Structures are given as structure tokens and as C-alpha cells.
Structure 1
Amino acid sequence: MTTLQQPLPSPFNAASTADDVMTGINLSGRLAIVTGGYSGLGLITTRSLVNAGAQVIVPARDVERAQAALAGIKGVSVQPMDLMAPASIRTFCERIVQQGQPLSLLINCAGVMASPLVRDADGHESQFATNHLGHFSLTCGLWPVLKAAGSARVVSVSSRGHQIAGIDFDDIDFNRRPYDKWVAYGQSKTANALFALALDARSRDLGIRAFSLHPGQILTDLGRHLSRAEIDAFDVFDENGQQKIAPELGLKTLEQGAATGLWCATSSLLDGKGGVYCEDCNIAPVNDPASGRKGVAQWAADPELAERLWRVSEQWTGVTL
């Protein structure tokens, strides 16, 4: 299988921070939307984009919480939206499209991880519904303003967790197989990577490029469903109970974790490129299991699987570009 996954001579690496990759970037007059933009990696991303001059909209299910977290950051506004509620996504998109301002950056950062089995109103498993279907509907709904920008990027935060599982197209929603929260998470993160691949194939001729990425292994509110024993198994704490920082091993600070997404959103090295999965501020190679976990699994970089996922997503959400 030919692949787009060819690393570049990037000046950045695993230890690079959000400030490093945003040095010299000017986003004045540009509009960005960041889901999950009020906590963890999303908050760093929002602040970095605002500091570069962008106007940022943060959609949030809990508007008051988001406003409190973003208080004092000028150039950012919060609007209600719930990724598990299609009607909420539709209302948000209609409002943005009616305002008419071109959308230069859509960063799909919100997500859930290893949660108990919950289903949305349509019966879809919640991790797949939130991490993929909600962002699929959001991107399609914002299509008119993405096109209007003339040059735009859509960035989806995936995870190295995609290596846990590909997509079981015969039973995505765990209607027949036993529910496994980690398999469900891995499946949804594979979907993030395949979504970027399929979207880019449809949008590149319009100047819209799509990317997915692994931010690093960072303990954030994303781990709220994990037990202490599960967290300890990740070996992220030292003997003093402090979080380990070893970016070369994937153990990053929030500022280091946000760097790759911001690099995908703004780097001129990616001009004319898209549909790729990135990590450590570079395009990642295809993973060789014998050499460790670095890189993207073949099942998350397969154009045929990306097209199959796109068709399922259209069918399940009832939306398209």
C-alpha cells in the first residue's frame, strides 16, 4: 500500500512546545473553532491561537464552565453545543454559517476515553458518537464557511490509542460483541485518523486540508473514567507522585502535547499536504510493531477503509459535505 506517511525535515520534535511552534505565526483576522477548547490540550490550543491574533469560538456543552475557564482571554467566545446531540450540532453550525465569517481553522480536540457503555439517542456507542460522529457532523455543517476561507485546515486529535483497535464495521456499536472500553476508544481514535484521510481527499482541491495527530501521553481530565490502578499502570508518576516528563517516550507537558496540533494547524511545511497522521510535530511513519509504538497503524492510514467509514458516517448522521 502506498502511503502519504512520509516524515519531513521539521525543525521541531517531541520536546517542542506550543510557544515554539507558534513563534512568528500571525493569525490576525482569522477565525478558528476549537472543540474542547476550555480544558487540557484544548485550553492551551485556544490560548495559543488567540495570542497569534485569531478569533476563537469554543463550542461547549457546559457553557458556564467553559466561560469560567476562558475568563480573561480576549478574542474567545463560547457557544452552546453538545457533540452527542445532533440537533445541538446542527443549531451551532447554522448559527456560524449565518454569521458568514470564513472559517480558517477547525480543531476537533474534544473527546472521551475509556468510558462505561453509554449510547446516544440513536443507539450509537458514546465514544464513537462523541469522538467521531459528532465531529463528522460538525465538519459537514461548517462546510460553507470552511470553503469560504479559500485556504483552511481541519485538525482532528486522534491518539496512539488507535493502535488498540481498527474499526469493526460489522459491529461498531457493540450490539453483539462484549463491550470493551479500550477497544471502543481505539476504534474511535482510528476513526479520527481515517476521517482526516477521507476528508482531505474530498476537500484538497478547494484548499481545505485535513490532518490527524497523536498529542502524547498526558494525564488530563480525559482520564476521569479511569481507576487509580489503571492510571498507575500507565507509569506516568515518579516515586514522589509527580507526573513524569519524558517527551521522547511520549510523556509530555500540556504545552508539549498541544504543539503537534498547532503545528498541523499552522505550519507552512504542510502547505500542499494533507490526509496524514502526525506526532512529535512531524508526519508520522507507518508503525512497525516490532520497533515499538511510534507511527500510525496501517488500518488507520488505509484509503479504502477511510472511504468505507465515510459512507457509514453519512448514513448514520444523515449529513454530508
Structure 2
Amino acid sequence: MTTPQPAFTIDNTATDVLAGIDLHGKLAIVTGGYSGLGLATTRALAAAGAHVVVPARRPDSANQALAGLANVEVDELDLGDLESVNKFADRFLASGRTIDIVINNAGIMAYPETRVGPGWEAQFATNHLGHYALVNRLWPAIAASGDARVVVVSSGVSPDGTINWDDVHFEHTEYNKWAAYGQSKLANALFAAHLDLLGRSAGVRAFSVNPGYILTPLQRHLTKEEMVGAGWIDEEGTPLLPEFRAPEQGAATQVWAATSPQLAGTGGSYLIACAVARPFDTETDREQAARLWAYSAELTGVDAFAA
């Protein structure tokens, strides 16, 4: 049973947006669901009755962070390693369970130049390719739900942003950690838009989300000097921007995207502060999304929708 939801704002929490929503009998997968926004998301979904599977690159840390929390299980997954993605998917599919919610929450930001797999740039590989492969490998269980939602946590996305198709992995140009991060986050939004187009016939809808300014372990690769220089914090580490919110508030939009009846029958959009900020349905959006899907399928060798 659900009750009509009010309009939510940047100040609401994940618990607020779940008021009146009963998730008993639902299964959710939250990547990175043991730290920062992911931990707040896992707690809120589990409290509403969902069984939450938390794939984690550091299972021991995940078990420690989630200790005592009911309705939660931890499994091993490294999004930067396709073999790890495949093994996790195989284990889950072997359980015979269906998936009602997927929240692609895990990610890295402003990472030093690093190569993973066959030489992929680490931020594009972890933030996008790993999640692309995960959803495609888990597709039978997602589609079996009949009304599943996939939520991809993005970030600020420029209206005229584009993938650097000539050098996606910075093999021929000087590496810029912020350009690489921004490209991976645009890829998140494009992936959600195209997944929604492909999956809606199976009752699966997808959204991308900008959680806003939140101080979490995502910033672990930035020095204090960098964050002070950006005007995010002062020398004592106190947030300076009025837009900064707590992780429970940052998690609200992704939980809203995953569960809100207000979004029934819709999908593909980019959400901010529990509202649709951009439909992601221009001709350029659709062309880039389709191209990214084909490119990701080529790199990973996985495409649940291939003929």
C-alpha cells in the first residue's frame, strides 16, 4: 500500500521520500551501498522493508559498516574488473531471485590516471563500463520483476557535454582527472536514457540522478588543499557552500527515483532534488546514448538486447 506523496526538496531525506511506501517483498541491489550516499540509501530501503544486496569491492568493510542492519546481504564485486562483475552476476542469477531495484551508486572521482582491464581509463571503466556490464548481465532477473527500476547516480552534467569519442580513454591526449570524471558521469546519464528506451517493453524504467553537493568518501582522492581552493571547505574542514547537504539528504533523489509512484510510467530522465531536471531526449542525446551503448557492448562483450 502507498499513500500520495508530497513534493520533495533538496532538504528532504531518503527516509522522507519513503514515507508511506512498503517495500516488503522487494529486492534491491545498491552498488557501494556501505559508504556515503550508498550507506544512507541501503539503510532507508531496508527500513522500508526491502531486502538489499550490497556488492562491495571491500566486503569486510561493507560487513562492518552494515553490521546489525536487518534485510541486508553483502557480496564481492569490483566494478573495474569484468571477471568480478561476471562472477557476481553468475552467483546472483544462480539464486533464482528477481530484482526490483538497481541503484548504480558506486563510483570514483578525480582519480589519478590509472588503467584497468585491457587499458581502460579507470573512471570511465568503474563508473560506467562496470555498471553497464552489471545491468546487462543481470538483465534476466531485472526483466523478470515486471516493473523494475534502474537508477544510475551521475553528477552535474553540462547541457552541451559530449563523450570524447576520439580518445575516450586518454590514450593520445594529456590526462585530466576532472575531464575524465565528467565524461564518466555523462556516460551514466546517457546509459540510463538508452536503457530506459530498450527496457520499457519489459516494464523496466531507468533514471539518472545528480545527488548534489555531499561530502562523502567519494572525495578521498582530493587533497584538503584542493577542496579549500575550490571553496568547498575551510581549513578546519567545515563545508562552506550553502548547497552542501548530509548523505541522507543526498540519497533522497536516488531513493525517490527507485520507488516514487510519482514517476510511474516515465523514465530516461535526469533528476535533481527529487524532480525531473532534464528529459535527456533531444536528438543529440539519443544519438550519443545509442553510440555509447554500442561502444560499451563492443568493449565489454555484453549486450542483453543484441539480436
- TM category (shorter chain) comes to over 0.9
* Deviation of the 1:162 alpha carbon: 5.6
Structure 2 match to 1:173: 169
Q: Deviations over 1:125-150 (max 9, x none)?
A: 00000000000000001000001101
The match for 1:277 is 270
Aligned AA (1:304) = E
User: C-alpha separation between the residues in 2 aligned to 1:72 and 1:245?
Assistant: 34
Among 35, 38, 54, the alignment partner of 1:39 is 35
State the 1:298 CA deviation: 7.4
The equivalent position to 2:292 in structure 1, one of 291, 299, 309, is: 309
For 2:221, the equivalent position in structure 1 comes to: 225
Partner deviation per Cα, 1:187-228 (whole Å, 9 max, x = no partner) = 000000000011001001110000001001111111111111
Whole-Å Cα distance in 2 between the matches of residues 128 and 298 of structure 1?
Answer: 23
Q: Establish whether residue 112 from structure 1 lines up as the match of residue 108 from structure 2.
A: yes
Q: Give the AA of the match of 2:290.
A: E
Distance in structure 2 (CA, Å) of the matches to 1:86 and 1:268: 34
Task: Kindly provide the amino acid, as one letter, of the partner of residue 311 in structure 1.
Answer: A
Structure 1 stretch 14-23 or stretch 157-166: which is displaced more?
157-166
What do you get for the CA RMSD once the two structures are aligned?
2.0
Contact 2:228 2:235 in 1 (8 A): no
Partner residue, 1:57: 53
Structure 1 spans left out of the alignment, 5+ residues = 1-8, 287-295
C-alpha change, 1:297 and 1:16, in structure 2 (3 Å) is: farther
Task: Give the 5 Å matches for 1:1-321.
Answer: 11-160=7-156, 165-237=161-233, 241-244=237-240, 246=242, 250-285=243-278, 302-321=285-304
1:111 aligned counterpart, secondary structure: coil
Q: In 2, Cα distance between the equivalents of 1:239 and 1:10?
A: 39
Answer with 48-57 or 160-169: which moved more: 160-169
Q: CA deviation at 1:25?
A: 1.1
Structure 2 unaligned spans of 5+? none
Shift of the 77–47 alpha-carbon distance from structure 1 to 2, 3 Å rule, reads same
**Matched residues, number:** 300
When normalised by structure 1's length, the TM-score is 0.89
Give the whole-Å Cα distance in 2 for the aligned partners of 1:218 and 1:180.
22
Give the TM-score, by structure 2 length: 0.93
CA shift in 2, pair 1:192/1:109, >3 Å = same
SS of match in other structure, 1:77: strand
Distance 1:244 1:297, change over 3 A: farther
Percent identity, aligned pairs only, is: 49
Cα contact 1:164–1:183 (8 A) shared by 2: no
Deviations 1:219-249 (Å, cap 9, x if unpaired)?
A: 1111111111211133233686432473xxx
The answer to whether the 8 A contact 2:215-2:244 is kept is no
Retained in 2: the 8 A contact 1:102–1:149?
yes
The SS at the match of 2:251 is helix
Q: How far apart are the structure 1 equivalents of 2:153 and 2:49?
A: 22
